[in-house]
Amino acid sequence: MSEIIPEVSKDGLLDLGKKLFDERRVDYFLGYKKGTVRFKTIPLIARKGEDLQELWVEDFFHANLSLYLKEIKGRVGILAKGCDSRSLVSLIKEGQIKREDLYIVGIPCAGQVDPGKAAKAASCEPEELEEIIRRNQEFVIRANGQEKTLSKTQVLLDKCLFCQYPRPLIFDSLLTGDYVAPVSPVARAQDDLRQKPVSEKWAFWSGQFERCIRCYACRNVCPACFCPRCIVEENMPQWVSPLPAEGDNFVFHLMRLLHVAGTCVSCGECQRVCPVEIPLMKLNEKMTDDLRELFDFVAGVDLEKALPFRTYRQEDPQDFIR
Partner 1 sequence: MYRKITREKLRKWLIGLSARAEILVPAKMNGLWTFRLFHNQELPQNFLNSRIPPKNLFFEPLKGLLGWKAADGSFQVNSCPAPEAARVIFGLKPCDARALRLLQPVFTGDYPDVFYAGNLSRTLLLGQACRVQCQGSFCSEVGIDRQDSVDFDVFFREIAGGYIVRVITEKGNTLTGEKEFFEESSAGEWNSAKEEIRGKNEIPLFNLEKVKAGARERFPDEDFWMRVSAKCINCGICTYLCPTCHCFDLCDLQRPGQGVRFRCFDSCAFPDFTKMAVHNPREEKWRRYRQRVSHKFNFFYENFQTVACVGCGRCVAHCPVNLDLREVLLEMAR
Partner 2 sequence: MEAKPETEKKEKNWEPKILAFLCRWCSYAGADLTGSSRISYPANVRILRVPCSGRVNPLFILKTLRSGMDGILVSGCHPGDCHYTAGNYNARRKFAILSRLLEYVGIDPRRVQFSWVSASERDKFAKVVSAVVADVKALGPNELFQLPDFGQMTKGPTSPDP
Binding site for partner 2 (CB under 8 A): 193-194, 198-206, 210, 231, 239-240, 244-248, 250-251, 254-255, 257-258, 261, 283, 286-287, 290-291, 294-295, 308-309, 312, 314, 316-318, 320-322
35 counts as binding partner 1 under rule CB under 8 A: yes
Q: Residues 192-231: x/- map of binding to partner 1 (CB under 8 A)?
A: -------------------x-xxxxx-xxx----------
Nearer CB in complex with partner 1: 12/279: 279
116 counts as binding partner 1 under rule CB under 8 A: yes
Number of residues that bind partner 1 (CB under 8 A): 37
Stretch that binds partner 1, among 32-40, 78-86, 91-99, 258-266 (CB under 8 A): 32-40
40 counts as binding partner 1 under rule CB under 8 A: yes
- Euclidean distance between CA atoms 118 and 135, whole angstroms: 15
- Euclidean distance between CA atoms 191 and 286, whole angstroms: 9
Q: Pick the closest to residue 82 from 185, 151, 187, 191 (CA basis).
A: 185
CB 78 within 8 A of CB 30: yes
Residues 198-205: contacts with CB under 8 Å, at least 24 apart = 205/250
Nearer CB in complex with partner 1: 252/295: 252
- Euclidean distance between CA atoms 289 and 64, whole angstroms: 22
Q: Pick the closest to residue 231 from 239, 223, 242 (CA basis).
A: 239
Nearer CB in complex with partner 2: 131/200: 200
Choosing among partner 1, partner 2, none, which partner's interface includes residue 255 (Cβ < 5 to 8 Å by kind)?
Answer: partner 2
- Euclidean distance between CA atoms 299 and 10, whole angstroms: 30
